Amino acid sequence: MHMNLEMNESAEARMVVQEADLASALPISEEDNFPEVFATSRMIALMELAAARLMQKALTEGQLSVGVGVNIKHLAATPKGKEVWAVATFTRMEGKLYMFTIEAFDEAGKIGEGSHSRAIIATERLLAGASKRFSK
């Protein structure tokens, strides 16, 4: 059932920071060196997940929402083993884009904030387009 999102409606996503979620897990070569704290990329993924959960009620069969843009500030470090959560709040439409304010927290306070945009896509069309890009 397709339903529109309400202005200022929000959803959240929660997780406990694990070893794989740390910035120190990101290096792909010896010159890469990052601290043992919650990675910005994982925080952004959690923020996107919160927004995607909110968008589920706007989808019809065969559709998904995909992230289009992020503008994020990572404000504070979180160690392994602590719970973190993200809250996405729907703010407006810009053409076909759904716009969100997103924030992330741990038990000590706010750790991130910013904005995020998502679009609704036909799943089959997206997958076909991705395959076509590499079959030329």
Tens digit of each residue's pLDDT (9 = 90 or more) over 50-107:
999 999 999 999 999 999 999 999 999 999 999 999 999 999 999 999 999 999 999 9
The CATH architecture that domain 10-133 belongs to is Roll (3.10)
* DSSP secondary structure of 44-86: HHHHHHHHHHHHGGG--TTEEEEEEEEEEEE-S---TT-EEEE
Tens digit of each residue's pLDDT (9 = 90 or more) over 31-48:
999 999 999 999 999 999
User: What is the layout of strands, in order, in the sheet containing 109-122?
Assistant: 10-16, 83-94, 97-106, 109-122, 63-74
Q: Is residue 40 flagged as an active site residue?
A: yes
Q: Which of 12, 74, 78, 103 is catalytic?
A: 74
Give the tokens for residue 66. Answer: 């995909």
Q: What are phi and psi of 84, to 5 degrees?
A: -130, 150
Q: Is residue 78 flagged as an active site residue?
A: no
Q: Which of 19, 31, 36, 40 is catalytic?
A: 40
The per-residue pLDDT for 82 is 98
Q: Is residue 48 flagged as an active site residue?
A: yes
- Structural domain spans, the chain: 10-133
Cβ pair 11, 53 in contact under 8 A: yes
